[in-house]
Every structure is written in structure tokens, then in C-alpha cells.
Amino acid sequence: MNLDDVYQELILDHYKSPRCRGVLLNPDKKIDLTNPLCGDQISLTLKFSGDTIAEIAFDGHGCSISQATASIMAELLRGRTKDEARRLSGLFRGMIKSQVEGDQLNDLGDALALEGVKRHSARIKCALLAWDCIDRGLEEAGTSVSLRDEMPK
């Protein structure tokens, strides 16, 4: 088995047995995005505890790349701080856009399995959909948390 086969297995495994699948009750953030090019849809729900992503879940449908990426991403980001999640998202984008390579990508863990997507431009939007959701959620959370902090108790 070469590395590509291992990665293929990993992607299929996440697609068939998704981690963190579902919708959180009373989430702090809920982000719904679609990729009309492929028909992918992802709904991401997030709960924060201070600066940490305490809970994360995704729901949706679409191609194996979009759904497997959401599963891998959710598992990778659960329990991380918002800053770490932003950094990992930037790293993933760097990988998919062929801007970052090699050992620098090790922090991506299972998400490294998606590196091959960069050679298939039609699938790049599929792989970025879940990350677009988390970026949107973090962006909105950044604002609302600081506003909440400033509000009188």
C-alpha cells in the first residue's frame, strides 16, 4: 500500500463514518455554506468556552471530499483555541493552494490526506467548504465575544 492508498482509505473512512456529525443544541455559532459548483452543503455548529472551541459538529451532504474534509476538520479543531484553529485553517489553505509544503504541514494531522486535492482544481472548493465555515464562525465569534465582554453584567 503506498501513501496515496492510505490517504484514500482515510478519506473514505471519514466519509462513511463521519466524526462530529450532527447539529449542536443552542450553538454559539451556526454557519451554513454551499458549493454550487458541486452541490455540496455544510452546516457547522460551534460552542465556545472562552477562547476554546469546546464543541463542534457538522451536518450536510455532497461529495466525499467535502464531507470527509468536514469530518477531519471537526475532529482536528475540537478543543483547540480560536487562534490555533485560525492557524490550522491558514495552513490547510496554504497546502491546497500549493503555497506550503513538507514538514510545515505536519500539524494538519489527518487533514494531510487531502493534499492530493491540490492537483484537482475542480475539487478545491469542495475541500475548502468546511474551512470557509470555520473561518466565518471564528470571524463572527471574534466580534461577538468581545462585544459580550464589554456588556455590563
In whole angstroms, the minimum distance from the beta carbon of 62 to Zn ion comes to 5
State which residue, 45 or 67, has the beta carbon closest to Zn ion. 67
Residues touching Zn ion, count (CB under 5 A): 5
Binding residues among 45-84 for Zn ion as defined by CB under 5 A: 63, 66
* 69, 126 contact by CB (below 8 A): yes
Range in contact with Zn ion (rule: CB under 5 A) among 14-22, 71-79, 101-109, 121-129: 121-129
* Burial state string for 59-75 with b = 16 or more CB within 10 A and e = fewer than 16: bbebbebbbbbbbbbbb
Rounded to a whole number of angstroms, the minimum distance from the CB of residue 42 to Zn ion is: 10
Nearer to Zn ion, 68 or 134 (CB): 68
Distance CA 9, CA 12 (A): 5
The rounded radius of gyration (Å) of the Cα atoms in the chain is 15
- How far is 57 from 86, CA to CA, in rounded Å? 17
38 binds Zn ion (CB under 5 A): yes
Cβ neighbours of residue 151 closer than 8 Å, sequence gap 6 or more: none
* Interface stretch with Zn ion, choices 1-9, 51-59, 74-82, 119-127 (CB under 5 A): 119-127
Rounded distance, CA 16 to CA 131, Å? 20
- Smallest distance from the beta carbon of 114 to Zn ion, in angstroms? 12
Q: Which residues bind Zn ion (CB under 5 A)?
A: 38, 40, 63, 66, 126
